[in-house]
C-alpha cells in the first residue's frame, strides 16, 4: 500500500506533521538524480485546482516531445483530507493526482509537475514525491520559491540563476519569457537539474509556464466547469 494511504484523514496537528516529516526523511535515500536514461517521446503536465474547500480536481495532459502536440487529456476529482501546509503539499494533492494519472492510456516518459522537486526542506517536493511513487522521471516547475536564496536572473528569456539552499544548488531560477517573473525548475526523480532545465526551456513557447504545465493549468479550469 502506498505509504501516504496510511494517513487517511490525519488531523493537521503537530504530531501528525512530525510523522509526515519522518516519512519524507525516510524516502530521501531513494531519490535518484542522474542524466536521463530514457527516450523522451511523451511528456505529461499535471495540475490541481479546488472546488470549494474539500474537493480537489487533478488534470494530466499528455504531449509528444519535442513537438509538443497534445494527445491526451484526463482528469479526476475527489475529497481532500489535509489542509494546505507548506512543505506537505504532496500529502494533500498526490493521492488525487495519482488517480488521474491512472486514466492515461499512454504513459509519459517524464512528468512535469506544478510545484517543486528537490527544492524542498527535505528534498521531497511534490514532483519528487510523485516520481518515487510511480518510479518515473519527474521534474518540478514552481511559480514561487519554497526554500533557498538566489540572485535575480537577467531579464531576457533563457537567463538562469542557481537557487541555493544549505550550500547546495537545488533548482534553477529560469526566465522563460522576457521581463516576466522567472519560474523555479528542479529535478524530481530520475533526472538531473541540467536536463530538467533544458526541457523546461524547450517547452517555454510564448508564455511564462512551460507548455505541459500551462495546458494542465488551463484545462483544470475548463474541466472544473464540467463538475
**CA dist., res. 210 & res. 65, Å (int):** 13
Q: Could you tell me the smallest distance in angstroms from the CB atom of residue 143 to DNA?
A: 3
Q: Could you tell me the smallest distance in angstroms from the CB atom of residue 39 to DNA?
A: 27
> Of 110, 70, 84, which Cα lies nearest the Cα of 198?
110
Find the part of the chain contacting DNA (CB under 7 A) among 37-45, 67-75, 88-96, 164-172. 88-96
Other residues' Cβ atoms within 10 Å of the Cβ of residue 123:
21
Find the part of the chain contacting DNA (CB under 7 A) among 31-39, 63-71, 99-107, 120-128. 120-128
**CA dist., res. 27 & res. 154, Å (int):** 36
Q: Does 116 bind DNA (CB under 7 A)?
A: yes
Extended beta strands in the chain, E state:
42-51, 55-64, 70-79, 110-114, 138-142, 160-165, 168-174, 183-189
**CA dist., res. 125 & res. 102, Å (int):** 21
Residue whose grid cell is 542522474:
34
Q: Which cell is 141 given?
A: 516547475
Q: Could you tell me the smallest distance in angstroms from the CB atom of residue 62 to DNA?
A: 19
By beta-carbon proximity to DNA, the closer residue of 64 and 134 is: 134
Q: Does 58 bind DNA (CB under 7 A)?
A: no
Find the part of the chain contacting DNA (CB under 7 A) among 4-12, 70-78, 136-144, 150-158. 136-144
Find the part of the chain contacting DNA (CB under 7 A) among 7-15, 86-94, 99-107, 165-173. 86-94
Q: Could you tell me the smallest distance in angstroms from the CB atom of residue 41 to DNA?
A: 27
Q: Does 14 bind DNA (CB under 7 A)?
A: no
217 is in an annotated binding site: no
> Of 207, 210, 189, 191, which Cα lies nearest the Cα of 135?
189
195-34-70 Cα angle (round to 5): 45
At a CB cut-off of 8 Å and minimum separation 6, what does 142 contact?
114, 115, 116, 119, 125, 183, 184, 186
By beta-carbon proximity to DNA, the closer residue of 73 and 224 is: 224
Q: Does 114 bind DNA (CB under 7 A)?
A: yes
Identify the residue among 43, 48, 63, 187 touching DNA (CB under 7 A).
48
Q: Could you tell me the smallest distance in angstroms from the CB atom of residue 205 to DNA?
A: 13
Annotated binding site for Mg(2+): 47, 114
Binding residues for DNA (CB under 7 A): 47-50, 84, 86-90, 114-116, 120, 125-127, 140, 142-146, 217, 224
Amino acid at each position: 500500500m502506498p505509504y501516504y494511504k496510511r494517513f487517511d484523514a490525519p488531523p493537521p496537528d503537530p504530531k501528525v506533521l512530525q510523522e509526515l516529516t519522518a516519512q519524507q526523511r525516510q524516502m530521501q535515500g531513494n531519490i535518484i538524480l542522474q542524466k536521463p536514461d530514457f527516450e523522451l517521446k511523451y511528456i505529461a503536465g499535471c495540475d490541481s485546482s479546488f472546488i470549494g474547500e474539500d474537493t480537489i480536481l487533478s488534470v494530466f495532459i499528455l504531449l509528444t516531445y519535442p513537438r509538443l502536440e497534445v494527445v491526451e487529456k484526463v482528469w479526476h476529482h475527489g475529497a481532500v483530507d489535509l489542509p494546505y501546509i507548506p512543505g506537505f503539499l504532496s500529502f494533500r494533492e498526490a493521492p488525487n493526482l495519482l488517480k488521474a494519472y491512472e486514466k492515461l492510456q499512454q504513459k509519459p516518459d517524464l512528468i512535469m509537475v506544478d510545484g517543486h522537486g528537490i527544492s524542498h526542506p527535505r528534498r521531497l517536493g511534490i514532483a519528487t514525491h510523485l516520481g518515487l511513487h510511480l518510479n518515473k522521471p519527474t521534474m518540478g516547475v514552481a511559480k514561487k520559491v519554497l526554500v533557498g536564496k538566489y540572485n535575480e536572473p537577467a531579464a531576457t528569456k533563457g537567463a538562469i540563476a542557481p537557487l541555493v539552499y544549505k550550500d547546495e544548488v537545488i533548482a534553477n531560477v529560469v526566465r522563460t519569457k522576457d521581463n516576466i517573473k522567472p519560474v523555479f525548475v528542479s529535478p524530481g526523480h530520475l533526472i538531473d537539474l541540467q536536463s530538467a532545465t533544458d526541457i523546461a526551456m524547450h517547452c517555454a513557447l510564448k508564455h511564462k509556464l512551460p507548455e505541459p504545465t500551462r495546458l494542465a493549468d488551463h484545462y483544470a479550469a475548463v474541466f472544473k466547469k464540467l463538475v
